[in-house]
Copies of this chain bind each other. A is one copy, B any other.
């Protein structure tokens, strides 16, 4: 037996008890007559004491221990004279009677402390050491808590967790698949799932009624900071439901996670249509912790001789509350910000609402005080506020103003990490025109049902068709999305046609699903949550990588195990493959 207790559980209740602990040497302090060692395990830290006068040999042994050595000790719990209220075991210490060295440690390549001196690459290579640090360890513990609480809620609601296959079939639609060559069928390949979409729909047709799965998904995309080639979804599907049933159910899940994981019980849910989200926030994932809504100024700014506004499809502004005193330099920074290529505006018009009731604008030449006052009123601005206005092509300008809004929120400290504002965005467009391929793509995926009243538009004006689709956005982060699905073969065929599939292609790729629709498919719908991202949100981080035990870097590499790597020629031969 290596321990009677963990390093996180002893308290004054155990004083005088003989105990045994095992763990890592976090640090040691040699104070001449006394040596103190902080012994660490996953559960906490316990202080060990060695006294030169009581047992010089043992004390010498203790002094020889290095950081990260693994030891087992026996001793007696004693009250600490110098109590440490910041840790749970801070009221006791262990008077050690024997030490057993279980495992020596070389000097770690970076310090195992909350604030480490290790760079990103080094910490990835030695991820097993990085995980010893509290911030990373706590992220993994948070993730565990999230998955346990998710299952707890879904189980309580009658959902059944069903595992769907990982070795499935490649479909050209959507992102790029990872493929797996088949040895038994040379020249053929499995694909790793981008999501279990078709399987969960088949499970509904199979009558399973309420399905969920915490499931690994794969996408062979070029990577960004918040993308990983493999990621985890909370994937759900329900039968005999309307959108309303689904939103209510997953408001339940979300509330449960907020209360179980963050201890927050006062979460409420807002809803907004996609059209309104674009109109008022310029994005389909608005951060609604703060207001700063867009106001359309087209009606009041045109025909005053200012060409930029006159020629613009959209002139739109926001009110940066309390920024009326911004300096020239600050205003220039904002202009530079919107002109960055990744934001893409060509300029920024501002109006300062001065404390004396007057207005100072960058377009004073074209607009008099009365007109500027009308703008200020339209934007609900008071003295001391700053109006920021962009003009141009609607899509581009909404995007740029959305970026500016977020930038201002950062500057104004409006992104309060302790505040959570969940928002359902609904009525997404069903289709999206792709200029490259000159055809429509499904905005969510090709199984999303159009809104009943918009079905006739599928023939006349497909771009106007709204979908029974919804996203859950929290603080500007898209946490999940889903839809009511098509459950009718004819409608599904019609949609594939709009998406440019021939009947033959549709049958070849999704025939199994469309055939299934002919054997009594219930109305159904579902949702999938990006679990890594949800963990990151709850953990207060922007990067999902911090919440994955063994993530890959931006080049898709696991630098710890050195993967991907070359394989033996015999393996290639068996698979019937040749490298180009």
Contacts and interface: CB of A to CB of B under 8 A. Distances in A.
Contact of A170 (B40, B166, B186, B567): B567
Contacts of A517: 103
B218 A166 contact: yes
A549 interface: yes
Contacts of A106: 518-519
Nearest to A216: B166
Interface in A199-222: 199, 202-203, 205-210, 216, 218, 220, 222
B2 A189 contact: no
Contact of A188 (B521, B566, B574): B566
A218 B521 CA distance: 32
A424 interface: no
A95 to B, nearest CB: 21
Interface residues of A, number: 124
B564 A42 contact: no
Given A521-B70, A552-B167, A563-B167, A576 B577 contact: no
- Mostly, the A contact residues are loop
A324 interface: no
A571 interface: yes
A140 B520 CA distance: 21
B564 A2 contact: no
Interface string A124-137: 00111111100001
Given A185-B564, A556-B185, A580-B578, A127 B24 contact: no
A199 B564 contact: no
A151 interface: yes
A108 to B, nearest CB: 6
Interface string A42-80: 110000000000000000000000001110100000000
Given A105-B520, A520-B104, A576-B579, A203 B1 contact: no
B519 A68 contact: yes
A202 to B, nearest CB: 4
B208 A42 contact: yes
Interface in A11-32: 22, 24
A319 to B, nearest CB: 42
A522 B230 contact: no
A409 interface: no
Interface string A211-248: 00000101010100000011010000001111001000
Interface in A487-542: 487-488, 512, 516-523
Contacts of A144: 160-162
A24 B520 contact: yes
Given A216-B166, A565-B169, A519 B558 contact: no
Nearest to A523: B102
Nearest to A578: B578
Contact of A108 (B172, B519, B563, B579): B519
A407 interface: no
A3 interface: yes
A148 interface: yes
A351 B106 CA distance: 67
A141 interface: yes
A128 B1 contact: no
A163 interface: yes
B232 A163 contact: yes
B206 A132 contact: yes
With a 10 A CB-CB cut-off, give which of A141, A167, A552, A580 has the most chain B CB atoms. A167
A148 B161 CA distance: 9
Nearest to A136: B206
Given A179-B575, A520-B104, A42 B562 contact: no
A570 to B, nearest CB: 9
Nearest to A551: B165
Interface string A159-202: 01111111111101000111111111111111110000011001
14 contacts: A2-B240, A22-B522, A24-B522, A128-B206, A128-B516, A137-B207, A163-B548, A167-B178, A167-B230, A178-B190, A184-B555, A189-B564, A216-B216, A573-B580
Given A128-B516, A179-B180, A180-B564, 12 more contacts: A6-B209, A42-B207, A43-B209, A104-B520, A128-B202, A166-B216, A179-B181, A189-B567, A203-B549, A512-B560, A512-B562, A577-B578
Q: Which 8 A-B pairs have the closest CB atoms?
A: A105-B520, A131-B206, A2-B240, A188-B564, A169-B563, A182-B564, A42-B209, A68-B520
Interface of A: 1-3, 6, 22, 24, 40-43, 68-70, 72, 102-106, 108, 126-132, 137, 140-141, 143-144, 147-148, 151, 155, 160-170, 172, 176-192, 198-199, 202-203, 205-210, 216, 218, 220, 222, 229-230, 232, 239-242, 245, 487-488, 512, 516-523, 548-550, 552, 555-558, 560-568, 571, 573-580
